Structure 1
Amino acid sequence: MTAGIHHVSAIAGPAARNVAFYTTVLGLRLVKKTVNFDDSGAYHLYYGDETGTPGSLITFFPWENVAPGRLGIGETQETAYRVPQGAIGYWTHRFIDKGVDHQPLERRFGETVLPFRDPDGTRLALVAVPGIEAEPAYADGGVPAEHALRGLHSVSLLLEEVGPTGAILTDVLGFAQTASEGFLTRYQSGATVGGIVDIRAVGDFLKPRQGGGSVHHVAFRAADDAAQAAMVRRLVDNHGIDTTEQQDRNYFRSVYFREPGHVLFEIATDIPGFTIDETPAELGGSLKLPARFEPFRQRIEAALPPLHPGRTGGGVRSAFEDVADADYGGSD
């Protein structure tokens, strides 16, 4: 069984600012540039490692004038990335240099954690992990390979209680409860990247309001359609939870459901992957549309905001760097 986080999808403000932060400040690759399949007037942007490996991905629905969200119970609180243990000092200085909103270093489950936020207030963190220096890293985004992000570490969920959601994680999604610390309960799968879910149980708390900076859903991995169908059966048979019909997202196939703590979960197949319509070298270079939108491409492209305003021609990366320089005071 393939277990772990496939991707995290969140809501953002201006698309150009989002691209600048995730590609130039964090050094991730823009793996796929497409549109929201339910709203062709908005982008759906995917960031990850060189080929968009499941477990490396964070995606965004950017709307130019989105209202800010408010964190509340029944929502994803934080998305964390893995970095080599020796890189945490580099990132602390980088965030200071770039003016990135961040908090002091802290310890969780014996690991050093650097919490920070993106320009929309999305709660993020870097977790220093020993022994991952030799893992492959995407180094074409301006961050040296020895310091680059190595995929997702974890997500933390802000919930009223642990048990009901923990039962879904363990019985359906391939995780096991491994530790607890204060208000946090940790669940882990065997995945190297995206293999941890932390539940922060806080009892009755303020309800969330989705908006800029909010996580829309967390997607978990299924190797293929058969594995996904088996997970759906377990949800129905063991927990009385129905999912949506399977939806084709071009690069994976998805079903969605609300887990008992009210967080929106997705089960996404690893197949067919992001190179189905672009070569590895071309990933993220052009706008990709689902077949039903192709007859309207010209209208869709005209309505979408520029990802690098004020530029015509030139390389994609250099255009993004211009935005980052304006917003974050230069690049390393």
Structure 2
Amino acid sequence: MTATTEGLHHVTAIAGDPQKNIDFYIRGLGLRLVKKTVNFDDPGTYHLYYGDEAGRPGSLMTFFPWRGVAPGRVGAGQSTSTAFSVPAGSLGWWHQHFSDLGFDPRITSTSSTEERLLVIDPDGLQIELVATHADDPRDPWDSASVPAEYAVRGQHSSVLTVRDAERTVGLMVDDLGMRVVEQEGNRTRLAAGDGAPGTLVDVHASSLAPAGLTAGGTVHHIAFRVPDQATQQVWRDELASKGHQVTEILDRQYFTSIYFREPGGVLFEIATDTPGFDIDEPLLELGRSLKLPPWLEPSREAIEARVIPVALPEENNPEVAA
């Protein structure tokens, strides 16, 4: 491949009540809502983006919240767990934090290299916090809910559950430019770039997992980073030449995207690092207002009448919250 990914860009999942989603990811996980916009394919529904202070690629988790959405089924053909990187030694604090908020966190693994804490969000989505001794120099969002010394640094990794790991791993090596760094049992870890947190994907092979059903509490797609649209176009042409059914480049306002399904059924997106989330509102005010792309602005009144009103915690914009 001429183009290769530098790691994870974002993960997008489906939620129910947008207010519960906001409260969990801002006050629970300590992320910042960096953009409140709408699903461009369904403008009556929000598209909420959470991340670090500026919503840098690799820190992002995004949601389509449809109130009343039916529960999905986690299974083969999906990204089944999303993990965030936190400092070594911080999981005791996180366990108490989520317990105080009424959740039931649990330590799922402890080894000489990493510890994992699992918490289930209000819609049933599996979120893991991974504490490792690996260097993660990314600056956290220092929120009122989660002090910087414990805070999320960005994404750590995602788990893909598929029936045939060989074909999925082959695509990720041959077409995404990733490399296999570890294999244990039915799990294969791949890395992009330098292999730091935020560049990792675990492929889990399971012949017994039910077929995934994409709905509430499941991941819709996983996105990988590419620096700019010119590189994205090269990548799209190469993928199409190898027989992948790839969309045209789509304008997502804050980045551009292409989509295709890997052989195991997981929907992949390749998203650009640019232009970013501060193109239509100042950094200090990210997430405060409903932002629409130019082609939807003429319908603003109708869209605002359809979306569910939500309240944004003051800690999202502490310097302008008054």
What is the TM-score with the length of structure 2 in the denominator?
Answer: 0.92
Structure 1 match to 2:301: 298
Structure 1 position 2, deviation (Å) = 4.7
Structure 1 match to 2:269: 266
Structure 1 position 107, deviation (Å) = 3.5
Partner of 2:90, secondary structure, is helix
Partner of 1:219, secondary structure, is strand
After TM superposition, the structure 1 = structure 2 runs for residues 70-149 of structure 1, keeping only pairs within 5 Å, are 70-107=73-110, 110-130=113-133, 132=135, 135-149=138-152
Which amino acid is 1:99 matched to? G
The one-character-per-residue Cα deviations of 1:268-310 (angstroms, maximum 9, x if unpaired) are: 11111111111211111111001121111112112111112xx
Which amino acid is 2:34 matched to? V
Structure 1 position 82, deviation (Å) = 0.2
Structure 1 position 164, deviation (Å) = 1.2
Aligned-residue identity in percent:
48
Structure 1 position 140, deviation (Å) = 2.2
Structure 1 match to 2:239: 235
After TM superposition, the structure 1 = structure 2 runs for residues 275-290 of structure 1, keeping only pairs within 5 Å, are 275-290=278-293
What is the TM-score with the length of structure 1 in the denominator?
Answer: 0.89
Aligned: 1:57 with 2:69: no
Aligned: 1:318 with 2:314: yes
Determine the C-alpha separation between the residues in 2 that align with 1:246 and 1:78. Answer: 27
Partner of 2:131, secondary structure, is strand
Structure 1 match to 2:229: 225
Q: Gaps (5+ residues) in structure 2?
A: 317-322
Structure 1 position 168, deviation (Å) = 1.9
Determine the C-alpha separation between the residues in 2 that align with 1:46 and 1:108. Answer: 32
Structure 2 match to 1:256: 259
Structure 1 position 29, deviation (Å) = 0.2
Structure 2 match to 1:210: 214
Contact 2:6/2:199 (<8 A) preserved: yes
Which amino acid is 1:215 matched to? V
Which amino acid is 2:21 matched to? N
Contact 2:85/2:156 (<8 A) preserved: yes
Partner of 2:248, secondary structure, is coil
Structure 1 position 319, deviation (Å) = 9.0
* Inter-CA distance 193–288: structure 2 relative to 1 (3 Å threshold): farther
After TM superposition, the structure 1 = structure 2 runs for residues 8-19 of structure 1, keeping only pairs within 5 Å, are 8-19=11-22
Determine the C-alpha separation between the residues in 2 that align with 1:85 and 1:132. Answer: 10
Contact 2:15/2:123 (<8 A) preserved: yes
After TM superposition, the structure 1 = structure 2 runs for residues 138-217 of structure 1, keeping only pairs within 5 Å, are 138-190=141-193, 192-217=196-221
The one-character-per-residue Cα deviations of 1:245-271 (angstroms, maximum 9, x if unpaired) are: 111000000011011111000011111
Contact 2:136/2:197 (<8 A) preserved: no
* Inter-CA distance 151–270: structure 2 relative to 1 (3 Å threshold): same
Determine the C-alpha separation between the residues in 2 that align with 1:131 and 1:276. Answer: 33
Partner of 2:107, secondary structure, is coil
The one-character-per-residue Cα deviations of 1:109-149 (angstroms, maximum 9, x if unpaired) are: 93111112101001110000225576411112420000000
Contact 1:85/1:128 (<8 A) preserved: yes
**Number of residue pairs matched by the alignment:** 313
Deviates more, 1:243-252 or 1:299-308: 299-308
Deviates more, 1:220-229 or 1:131-140: 131-140
